[in-house]
Structure formats: structure tokens, C-alpha cells
Structure 1
Amino acid sequence: MIELEGLTKRYGDKLAVDGLTCTVRPGMVTGFLGPNGAGKSTTMRMMLDLDNPTSGTVRIDGRHYRQLHNPLRTVGALLDAKAIHGGRSAYNHLLCLAQSNGIDAVRVREVLDVVGLTPVARKRAKGFSLGMGQRLGIAAALLGDPQILMFDEPVNGLDPEGIHWIRNLMKSLAAQGRTVFVSSHLMSEMALTAEHLIVIGQGRLLADTSMSEFIAQNSRSFVRMRSPEGERLRDVLSGAGITAVPAADGALEVHGEDAEHLGELAARHRITLHELSPQRASLEEAFMRLTAGAVEYHAHPNHQARPPEAGWGADWQKKGS
């Protein structure tokens, strides 16, 4: 279990994390979401005592990280897959970590096999692709067989097979009763992996809730109904006190009612339905709605680049000719 209480971090005038209080519990995958600049990486670094908080505390199973004896046996973390000595082989990189934490060398071969790097175990890490580097970082996190695992953007550089593998790995670790904390910007992947969400914006806690509750509270859900008897269907719904909003394609959108009730109502009046489909927002839509006011960096897709200054184009053409 990871407990954050009033966690705050300032860099000069910049308030990166603002009084963050939450708990990451075992037995589930907890997703850590927030826009760029929200303070996610800073928070994770403070969890591992890589940054000192300005105020507040972080406790891992009741203790500060610096108080842990052989910390890799308690917490495994992937924060930066590039944080490796490029001149070392994958095997020797993990062996150094193992020896520093009293872990048997046999475990090095085990985790290399788990992440699929056994064939390149003796190759230098500097020649690894981004995906291979991610796998090596995940192997390091698993090395001490810890009860708590933290991953920051774990699917970066992985191919579809690798993404499927890490998703199932995190779920299986949580099913074993471990604490799994993962930060990612890939909403579609997070929706398939996480059961619980902690969402921050501008360093402050915005949500600490289950995946289903988060989507329900921060999105628009409705039922689409389409029938060759559209007008009659609308009258029947209105007579039952149900408001239906026409859609552009002629269907009706009904809010606040479940599909089963609406289908039974249509059946009682012998109305043929060509469509009866619940429409629920995605995690991405819910996230965008909640964090709209907490985004620090805004792109402007409709911005028109101004024309080059007088003479610039001619000078460039002369140089390029």
C-alpha cells in the first residue's frame, strides 16, 4: 500500500504538487492520470525519495522509502527506461541491481525470461531499441519479486504483442494481491487495464474513484433508438414521461433510462426497432471533460503560420540553389 498525505512540492515559484492526499491499495491496478505538467512524474519520484517533498509525506507499507532494507524487495519501479549503463549487458545490469539488494543471481535469469530478453541477455543495452529498453526496465522492477510495483508509461516503444503482454502482466500481479500503480497517457490502454483511477491536474487531486464511476460521473451516456415508426415511437416515449432528442440520422437519443426498459416499452406498443444501443463515453472523453480546466499546455490547431519576413524566402532560395 502507498499512502500520500498532504504531499506538496515547489520548485521556486512553481507549485508542482499541491497537498496531494490519496491511497494506492493492493489487489488492483490503479491508473495515475493527468495532463502534461500535472505533477505525475514528480509525485512518483517523491514516492521513491528521488525528490524531497516541500511538505507532506509518502509511506510505503507504513515506512518511508529510505527506511526500506533492500528496497527492490518491497518496491519495483520503472520511471525511466533509459536509466541504464549502456555499456553493460542486460544480464549484468540486472545482476548489479540484484547484488545490491541481496537477490540471488538465479532471479536475474528468471526475469529476463519473463520479459522475453533471454536471447539478448549478453548484448549491451546501448544497442537496444526503445521497446527492448522498456522490457529491461520492467525486468528490473520485477527483480526483487516486490509486493508494490510502479510503472511510468510502461507501454512506450512496445509493439502490439508487447502491449498485450504488459497489460496482462499488470493484471496478473494485481490478482496476486500486489499493489500496481501505473501512469500513462494512452487512455484506451488504461481503460483496459486499470480498475481504479487517481487523477490530478495542476498538482491537485481531481478524482480518486473506480473506473466505472469515473466514466459515469464525467461523461454523457444515453440510449440510441431507431425505428421505421419514428414519430409513433417518440409519442409513446413522451406519453411515458420520457424525453427523446432527435439525432442527425433520424434516430432518437434518450437520457436517464436503461435500454431494457426502453425495449420493453417499445415491445408493449408493438413498435419495430432497428436499433436499441446504449452509448457510453470512453475514458478519454471523461478524462478530457474533467481536466479541461487543468490543462497547462494548449495546442492551437487552427493557428495560421505567418508568412516569412520580406527577403527571407529569397535568401533561402539563393542558399538552397
Structure 2
Amino acid sequence: MVGMIELEGLTKRYGEKVAVDNLSFGVAPGIITGFLGPNGAGKSTTMRMVLGLDRPSAGDVRIDGRHYHQLKDPLTHIGALLDAKAVHGGRSAYHHLLCLAQANGIPDRRVHEVLDTVGLTAVAKKKAKGFSLGMGQRLGIAGALLGDPRILMFDEPVNGLDPEGIHWIRNLMKTLAGQGRTVFVSSHLMSEMALTADHLVVIGQGRLLADTSMARFIAENSRSYVRVRTPQRERLLDALAGAGIEVVESGAEVLEVDGDKSAAIGELAARHQVVLHELSPQRASLEEAFMRLTAESVEYHAHDGQTPAGQSPAAPGQAWGSDWRNS
């Protein structure tokens, strides 16, 4: 399939440390695939191996059936933003992109096109060392787009972008996927990923935890329930018990019922003439689902600064509850 990234048993070791552990998954065209995992999960290392920047210890990764070094014109196959700071600070935005274009047989006119796409035309002749983090991100994205590739790979593309810039990159990725291109993006901003990605690949400690649609991921890794508020709490509790509907949690005026039973509860309340002040289905966010799935894969655990019972205060420079084994 054109525009396909395929990983099979991909593994990367640094001495005794296993950064990526037997990863197998595919990234398909026409959708945005989000790549999630806690810090240190192996996301950046995996992306570097896709581009041939790191050599796998085992396994294989292919782009359209070939290794990156086998691609005749790699920038026309895959464009990537891995490190926005990987720019010669003494070069202007224009000359940075021009060097990339000339080294890869890309027409000079394409430089002007991508500068316009990312909104840097007005500062094209300014040196990159004077760019803000957000401007650097835009320049890195321009470099990824330079070869008009079928595959785009972005590592934390919204770092340093203001709200307008975040909105822009979100729409850009959706446009690229809508054109049938492959878009593979990692981010720590769960709220943004929830608005952007169609499919998710989640890893923890280098291992695959999930490879599924956004909707299915949230459904399988979170709790959905109905929140009910009523001044006639006891009357509603009796009605729910009579219908075999179990209340999971209850407060003074608030009841919670697992599952998506809002219609049944509303009809039941109407039949028993119970006044409802709230009847709202509650569905977990992507962040909540992600935290639940990856709880056992987080390498560094920070706590609230309170000394656990029986434990001595932390030594200077050591954070409470942090796991320093691999720092």
C-alpha cells in the first residue's frame, strides 16, 4: 500500500536498557494516527528508527515496503519533524529550506510554497537563531512538507505554538490526511490529540499497549456513567432499585449509574413523577483513558511532596516518589 509505514518486531537496546521492545504495527494512509506513551516510552526512538537515524537491535521497519536508505528520493516519500532546533542558526529560513531542496532535487519554487503554507514568508530572510520556539516549529514543518511527501511524521509538532498555531497545525494535518496522505504524530497534549487523531498507537516502556481507533480506545479504557441530580433522592433510588438499575455512587443530591442508561433513567423518573435537575451521560476523556491504560508503564512517578509515613525526607536534589533508576 502506498504511504504505509510497517514495523515488525522492532527492538532497540542501549546496553541493558530496552528502549523499544518488539513493536509491531502499521500506520495507514488517509487518517491521522496518534502515537502516545509516557515519557521514556520509546516514541522518539521509534520515529528515529523509521528514518534510519537509529539502527534497530532487532526487527524491521519499512516505508512503502523499503528501508529508508533504499528510497531514491526520501523527502518525496516521507517528511518528518523530529527536532525543530536542528537548524543552522546562521542561515535564514529561506536558505535553510533552499539547501534541503537543492540537496534532494526539489525545485526552488517549492521553498516559497512551503514558507507561505506555514506562515513564514514575512520572515523568510531572517536568521533562524532569532526565531521563537513556535517559529522554529513552523520552519521544521515547512521542511517536512518540502518534498510534497505521501507520509508526514511529526514528533510533538505543537510545542511552542500559540492557540492560533495549534489550530493551524491541527487543520493542516486533517487536510493532509484528507488528501490520502499518511500522518503519524506524537504529542503529550491529550486534549489536542483527542481533537486530531482518528487512530491511536499507544506504547509503554517500549512495548505496544494499544493499536485501535480513538473511540474504541476510550471506550475500552475508561468508565462511562450517568450523573443524576434530584431533590427526590430516596424516591428515585427506590424506582431504580425496582428496575434493577444499580447506583454505583451517591451523594446528598447526586447519583451515579454505570453505563449509558440516561434514556432508561429519564423514562423511569417520568413514570414515577420524580423531578430531575440533571441527567447527563459522562464519558471519560482521552487523558483519563490514557492514564488508566499506562498507569503501570510510567517510569517516573511524582507525588505531592508529602513525606509518606515511615519514610525519611528526600535527599537534596531528589524528588519525592521519583524513580531514578534510569535517570
Using the size of structure 2 for normalisation, the TM-score is: 0.91
Matched, 1:196 2:199: yes
State how far apart, in whole Å, the 1-side matches of 2:315 and 2:19 are.
37
Match for residue 73 of structure 1?
76
Alignment equivalent of 1:184, drawn from 180, 183, 187: 187
- 1:42-191 alignment runs, 5 A limit: 42-191=45-194
State how far apart, in whole Å, the 1-side matches of 2:251 and 2:171 are.
40
Match for residue 215 of structure 1?
218
Task: Encode CA deviations 1:81-101: one digit per residue, 9 max, x unaligned.
Answer: 000111111001101111112
Match for residue 267 of structure 1?
270
- CA drift at 1:306: 6.1
Matched, 1:31 2:34: yes
Q: Which one-letter code corresponds to 1:86 in the other structure?
A: G
Task: Encode CA deviations 1:149-202: one digit per residue, 9 max, x unaligned.
Answer: 000000000011001110111111111111100001111111111111100001
Matched, 1:4 2:7: yes
Do the aligned partners of 2:38 and 2:294 also contact (CA within 8 Å) in 1? yes
Alignment equivalent of 2:232, drawn from 222, 229, 232: 229
State how far apart, in whole Å, the 1-side matches of 2:314 and 2:56 are.
44
Using the size of structure 1 for normalisation, the TM-score is: 0.93
Match for residue 23 of structure 2?
20
- CA drift at 1:264: 2.0
SS in 2 for 1:161: helix
- CA drift at 1:249: 4.5
Q: Which one-letter code corresponds to 1:49 in the other structure?
A: G
Q: Which one-letter code corresponds to 1:258 in the other structure?
A: K
Matched, 1:240 2:243: yes
Task: Encode CA deviations 1:223-277: one digit per residue, 9 max, x unaligned.
Answer: 0111222111111111111001343352110112432222222223332211010
Task: Encode CA deviations 1:96-125: one digit per residue, 9 max, x unaligned.
Answer: 111112111111101101111000000110
For the aligned residues, what is the CA RMSD? Answer: 1.4
Change (3 A) 1:273 1:236: same
Task: Encode CA deviations 1:281-314: one digit per residue, 9 max, x unaligned.
Answer: 1111111111111111122322556698xxxxxx
Alignment equivalent of 1:276, drawn from 263, 272, 279: 279
Name the stretch that deviates more: 1-10 or 212-221.
Answer: 212-221
Structure 2 residue runs of 5 or longer lacking an equivalent are 308-312, 317-327
Q: Percent identity?
A: 75
State how far apart, in whole Å, the 2-side matches of 1:27 and 1:73 are.
17
Alignment equivalent of 1:292, drawn from 292, 295, 306: 295
Q: Which one-letter code corresponds to 1:80 in the other structure?
A: D
Alignment equivalent of 1:252, drawn from 231, 240, 255: 255
Number of aligned residue pairs:
308
- CA drift at 1:140: 0.4
State how far apart, in whole Å, the 2-side matches of 1:91 and 1:263 are.
62
SS in 2 for 1:244: coil
Do the aligned partners of 2:32 and 2:199 also contact (CA within 8 Å) in 1? yes
State how far apart, in whole Å, the 2-side matches of 1:249 and 1:175 are.
49
